[in-house]
Chain A
Amino acid sequence: MPDRPLIETVDLVKTYRVGSSTVKALDHFSIDIEEGEMVAIMGPSGSGKTSLLNLIGALDRPDSGTVRVKNVEIDRLGEEQRARFRKHNIGFIFQFFNLIPSLTAIENVLVPIMFEKEKPTRKAADLLERVGLGDRFDHLPGMLSGGERQRVAIARALINDPLIILADEPTGNIDSETAREIVSLFKELNDEGKTLVLATHDRLVAGRAKVMVKIRDGRMVRGKAHSRDGMMSLSPKEGGGREK
C-alpha cells in the first residue's frame, strides 16, 4: 500500500437539519494532512470549521464521504469504537477549555485515563510542568486564568500521547499575549512531531501554522486573499488539500 497521509478526508458532506430546512456545513470537502504538519483552518464563523474538526476527531460522522485517520476509516466506526479511537489518537482542545470544575489541574490532566488501571501520574505532573504550570497542580480551574486553563487542557490532550491534536478556536477566549504563548506551545509540539489541526480566525495563530487552509460555506477556498494581508503564502502543498 502506498504511503497515505495521516489524515485524509474525501468529499465530506455534513448537513444539519434545522426544523424543516437543512444547513450544509461541509460541502464535498477534501483535505489531506500529512504527519507532522501544522494546519490552520481559517474561515468566518459558520464556515464549517468545527464540523470538520469533529469529523476528523471521530466525534461525529459525515452524511457522505470518508474520513481516514491513520488508515482507519473512522466514519465507519460505531460509537464506542470512536470513543476508543479518540482516546488513543486524538487530543482535543476547545475554545472554552472544558475542564472539570471540581477537579484540580493535575486531576484534570488525568481525566482521560481515569478508568485505566495504569495511571501515569508522574507523566501528568511532567506535562503540567511542561506547559508551565509546575506550581499549579492543586489549583481548581476556577482559580486559574483563561490561559492557564487552556494550558491544563493542552496537558490533558497530551496524556495519551496522541499523534494528532485538534484545537477548535484555542485562543478564542484568551488575551492576545497569552494566545501568543499558547501558539508557541503548539509550535513546540509540532516541532516534536505532533500533527496539529487548528480551527481559528485568529491571524496570529494561523500565521504560525505551516499550512493554511481557508474554508467558506463548507468548501475549501484557495488562500489568495491572504497575500493581500501580507500574512503568508500557502504551503508548498497548495493548501495541503485537493479540491473537488
Chain B
Amino acid sequence: MRDREGRLATRKKARKRGPDGDPKRLTPLGYILRETWRNRSRTFFSITGIASLALLFILFSSMDKGLEDYFEDESEGVPSDESKELFKVKQVMDDWVYLISVLCWALMVLVVMNTATITVVERKLELGSLRAIGISSVQVSFLVIGSMMLIVAAGIASGLLASLVLIPLLDIANLSMLGGGLDLPLVYDPVSILNTILLGLGSGALGLIPPLLMIIRSSPVEVLRDAG
C-alpha cells in the first residue's frame, strides 16, 4: 500500500486520458474489481449469506447484552413476574449465545470456502495462464485473497448496516415472538460490532486455506494441458 497518494493521482490522470495521454493502467485491485463484477451474481449471493450470518450474530449478541444489562440494573427486592420470566430466558440464552456464535462462524467459514473454491476452480485456466506468463503463485494467491476480502468486507458491512436499522425496530416491536410475549431488551453493544468484524476476518482467513492450498499445489502445466 505504499505510494497510495501517487497511485491515486496517476489513476486520476489516466482516467482523463487525452488523445496523447497514457492509456489506462492495470493494478491488481483493478483486476480483482473487474473479476468481481463479472461474477456479480455469485458475489451477490455470497455477500448476502455473510450479511445474514453477521446480522444473526449481532442480533443474538444484542439480546445477550440486553439481558445482562437488565439484571445488572435491577435493584434488590422482590423480582417481578416479568423479571422471573426474563431470568429463565437469560439462562437459556447463556447456553445458546455461544452455540449460535460458533454456528455463525462455522457457516461463514463455509460460505467463504465455497465461494473461494468455486472461484479458483472456475478460473483455473485463467489463474494457470497468469502463472505461465510469470505471475507467481503467491501473487495469484493475493488476487484470490483480495477478492474474498472484498466480499467478506461487503457482507459484514451490509450485515452491520442492516442491524443498525433492524435492532432498534425489533426493540420497539418488543420482540414478542422471540420472547414469548415478553419485553425482551435489546442493547446494541459496540463490542459486538467489533466481534462481528473479527468474525468476518477469522472466517475469511480460515475459509481461504483450502482454496489457497489448491493454487499452490496445482501446476500451471497441468491446467494449461487440460484446457488444450
B-binding residues in A (CB < 8 A): 50, 54, 57, 59-60, 79-80, 83-84, 86-88, 90, 92, 94-96, 98, 100-104, 106-107, 110-112, 114-115, 117, 119, 121-122, 124-125, 137, 156-157, 160
The interface residues of chain A lying within 8 Å CB-to-CB of B219 are 60
* CA–CA, A106 and B25, complex, Å: 9
Residues of B within 8 A of A103 (CB): 26, 31, 34
Which of A80, A87, A96 sits near B138, CB closer than 8 Å? A80
* B28 touches which of A57, A90, A98, A114 (Cβ 8 Å): A114
A54-B221, A102-B35 known; A111-B133 Cβ under 8 A: yes
* Cβ contact within 8 Å between B133 and A87: yes
Q: Is B129 a contact of A94 with CB atoms below 8 Å?
A: yes
For A93, the closest partner residue in chain B by CB is: B133
The answer on a CB contact under 8 Å between A102 and B38 is yes
B134 pairs with A86, CB closer than 8 A: yes
Task: Count contacts on B: residues with CB < 8 A to the other chain.
Answer: 35
> Looking across the interface, which residue of chain B has its beta carbon closest to that of A88?
B134
- A83/B136 in contact, CB under 8 A: yes
Number of A-B contacts (CB under 8 A): 101
Say yes or no: is B125 at the interface (Cβ < 8 Å to chain A).
yes
What is the predominant secondary structure among interface residues of chain B facing chain A?
Answer: helix
Note all chain A residues with C-beta closer than 8 A to B139.
115
- Please tell me if the beta carbons of B25 and A121 are within 8 angstroms of each other in the complex: yes
Q: Is the CB of A98 within 8 A of B22?
A: no
**CB-contact partner of A102 in B23, B24, B34, under 8 A:** B34
CA distance A12 to B219 in the complex (A): 20
Among B25, B130, B132, B134, contact of A84 (Cβ-Cβ < 8 Å): B134
Establish whether residues A121 and B227, one from each chain, have CB atoms under 8 Å apart when the complex forms: no
- Across the interface, do B126 and A95 meet the contact criterion of CB distance under 8 Å? no
Residue numbers in A under 8 Å from B37 (CB-CB)? 102
Cβ 8 A contact of A125, one of B23, B134, B138, B225:
B23
Known: A83-B135, A156-B133, A160-B134. A60 touches B221 (CB 8 A): yes
8 CB-based A-B contacts, threshold 8 Å: A59-B132, A79-B136, A80-B136, A83-B131, A86-B133, A94-B228, A102-B38, A110-B25
**Which of chain A's residues have a CB closer than 8 A to the CB of B23?**
106, 121-122, 124-125, 137
CA A84 to CA B138, docked complex, whole Å: 12
Does B224 have its Cβ within 8 Å of any Cβ on chain A? Answer: yes
A95 touches B228 (CB 8 A): yes
Whether A83 lies near B137 (C-beta < 8 A) is yes
Q: From residue 111 to 137 of chain B, which have CB atoms closer than 8 A to chain A?
A: 125-126, 129-137
Cβ of B220 within 8 Å of any chain A Cβ, yes or no, is yes
- CA gap between A100 and B28 in the complex, in Å: 13
Q: Which of B14, B126, B135 contacts A115 (CB 8 A)?
A: B135
Tell me if B134 and A59 are in contact (CB < 8 A): no
Q: Restricting to B3-50, which residues have a CB under 8 Å from any CB of A?
A: 3, 14, 22-28, 30-31, 34-35, 37-38
